[in-house]
Amino acid sequence: MHLRKDNIVELPVNISHLDIEIVRGCFLKCKWCPLDKEQPYQFIGLDLFEKIINALHSVNGGYHRIDLFRGGEPFLHPDIKALLSVLERKNMSGKRTIGFFTNGMAFKNEQIKAVVESSLNIEIVFSVDGVGTMESFEYMRPGAKWEIVKKNISLLSEARKGSIYGGCKKIAVSTIIPHQDAVPFFVPQEEEIHEIFKKEFSLPGVDEFYYRGIHRYNGQVLIEGMPEKEIRNGACCFVKRGGISILVDGRVSVCCGDLTNTLIVGDLKNETFGEIFYGRSLSSIRGMMLTGERSKLEVCGTCDLR
């Protein structure tokens, strides 16, 4: 391990992106979501969250983006304001983005206030799967309501206009475009879908749109109409860039796509970040990726994510 004079651990690669699961659990029943909805909800505790953020400080990792999300619905957390305060106290502002991916249904006044009153550069990404229509959205996200999500986007947009706090608050919409054979509605070309989204969401205040084709997360989800799983080799970009993903209980996984937690490489409750990053488990996974043995990793060989 490379330890500098100021006790900062040098990592071999910059961690450009990491995510912290602040809530495990969700009340929607989105098609093809691999999250286990039967397990009880878990919320990250403030002590553990602070410990994790302190651990991040001990490594020279970069962290251009930290997502407070790893599947599940982050705005179910009972104290978003306190979590954001920890990040502010640890100077996690500046150019670094703090991201939330939300289903938009649990986004209440209290959370909107916490976000707009924070000095952090926060990006809220609303997941609006489908082709930009209520029909497709509510088909792909059973339990979600198109009008409620649109209303919550508008409320956030209005609130940030009046904010006196410095941090940028970006609002984005992300969609998963389904495979035509897997859904009963028509799936237009991506350019057309983009126009539909712009028409529906630019006025409510959305700054950016992200599009992704339908994927099987870590290769474990079967989707009707998709071609047979192809076995992949070679390192995925998440591992090459040194991504890391921290679970609600402090365990560390290789990546955010590992929603079934099969790629656990350590536990921040009783190991340091440096020990985990240089530990045998992560080195062995990284080694398999780099030597063309990705397919031997159960969830990675058929992963569509990267």
Exactly one of 8, 13, 35, 53 binds ligand SF4 (CB under 6 A); that residue is 35
Nearer to ligand SF4, 76 or 92 (CB): 76
Q: Does 68 bind ligand SF4 (CB under 6 A)?
A: no
Any contact of residue 242 with ligand SF4 (CB under 6 A)?
Answer: no
Is residue 18 part of the contact set for ligand SF4 (CB under 6 A)? no
Binding of residue 223 to ligand SF4 (CB under 6 A): no
Say how many residues make up the chain: 306
43 contributes a contact to ligand SF4 by CB under 6 A: no
CA distances, 146 to each of 3, 6, 68, 104 (Å): 51, 51, 24, 9
Contact 214, 182 (CB under 8 A): yes
- Region binding ligand SF4 by CB under 6 A among candidate stretches 57-65, 159-167, 233-241, 274-282: 233-241
Q: Which residue, among 14, 116, 45, has the nearest Cα to 53 in the 3D structure?
A: 45
Per CB under 6 A, the list member of 9, 18, 20, 26 interacting with ligand SF4 is 26
The burial of 225, by beta-carbon neighbours within 10 Å (0-12 exposed, 13-18 middle, 19 or more buried), is given as: exposed
Site track for ligand SF4 across 93-132, x = CB under 6 A: ----------x-----------------------------
Tell me the site size for ligand SF4, rule CB under 6 A: 24
Minimal distance, residue 98 CB to ligand SF4, in Å: 19
Interior CA angle at 152 toward 95 and 249, to 5°? Answer: 60
Q: Can you name the residues that pair with 100 across neighbouring β-strands?
A: 124
- For 95-133, letters b (16+ CB in 10 Å) and e give eebbbbbbbbbbbeeebbebbbebebbbbbbbbbbbbbb
Among 257, 266, 274, 288, binds ligand SF4 (CB under 6 A): 257
Residue 85 CB, shortest distance to ligand SF4, in Å, is 25
Residues 167-186 that bind ligand SF4 (CB under 6 A): none
Residue 73 binds ligand SF4, judged by CB under 6 A: yes
The bridge status of strand 59-67 relative to strand 9-20 is parallel
Distances (CA, A) of 132 to 175, 212, 225, 238: 8, 13, 21, 29
DSSP 174-193: EEEEPPGGG-SS----HHHH
Nearest to 143 by CA among 108, 178, 105: 105
Contact 257, 303 (CB under 8 A): yes
* Nearest CB to ligand SF4, comparing residues 51 and 240: 240
Out of 92, 153, 236, 244, which residue is the one contacting ligand SF4 (CB under 6 A)? Answer: 236
> Binding to ligand SF4 by residue 33, rule CB under 6 A?
yes
For the bound state, the minimum distance from the C-beta of residue 6 to ligand SF4, rounded and expressed in Å, comes to 31
Least distance between ligand SF4 and beta carbon 293 (Å): 12
Report if residue 250 touches ligand SF4, rule: CB under 6 A: no
Beta bridge partners, 99, equal: 67, 123
Q: Which residues bind ligand SF4 (CB under 6 A)?
A: 26, 28-30, 33, 35, 71-73, 103, 141, 218, 236, 238-239, 254-255, 257-258, 299-300, 303, 305-306
